[in-house]
Amino acid sequence: MAFQVDRNTVIGSIMDADESTAEYFMEIGMHCLFCPASRGETIEQACEVHGTDPDALIAKLNAHFANA
């Protein structure tokens, strides 16, 4: 079963599962993916701070993991 992402998934867990997902975070302005604060944030928290749609990011990430 592929890694699944939802609003409560912590960014650090996603990056640990596959660092190549960084491109999806970079696209929406999340550039500090490896700093301690961002590694502990959930997708929902990070998207709120960056003013982006968490559902769109979740869809991209889940598609990425489904095809990995």
Q: How confident is the model at residue 39 (pLDDT cuts 50, 70, 90)?
A: confident
Domain that holds residue 42: 11-67
Number of domains present in the structure of the chain: 1
In a domain, 41, yes or no: yes
In a domain, 22, yes or no: yes
Percent of the chain with pLDDT over 70: 99
Q: How confident is the model at residue 54 (pLDDT cuts 50, 70, 90)?
A: very high
Instruction: Write phi, then psi, for 63 (nearest 5 degrees).
Output: -65, -40
In a domain, 42, yes or no: yes
In a domain, 6, yes or no: no
Strand partners, 42: 10
In a domain, 4, yes or no: no
Contact 33, 25 (CB under 8 A): yes
**Would the pTM count as exceeding 0.85?**
yes
In a domain, 56, yes or no: yes
Q: Is 23 helix (H, G, I), strand (E, B) or coil?
A: helix
Q: Looking at residue 66, what is its pLDDT?
A: 95
Percent of the chain with pLDDT over 90: 69
Long-range contacts of 32-39 (CB under 8 A, 24+ apart): 38/11, 38/12, 39/10, 39/11, 39/12, 39/15
In a domain, 38, yes or no: yes
In a domain, 57, yes or no: yes
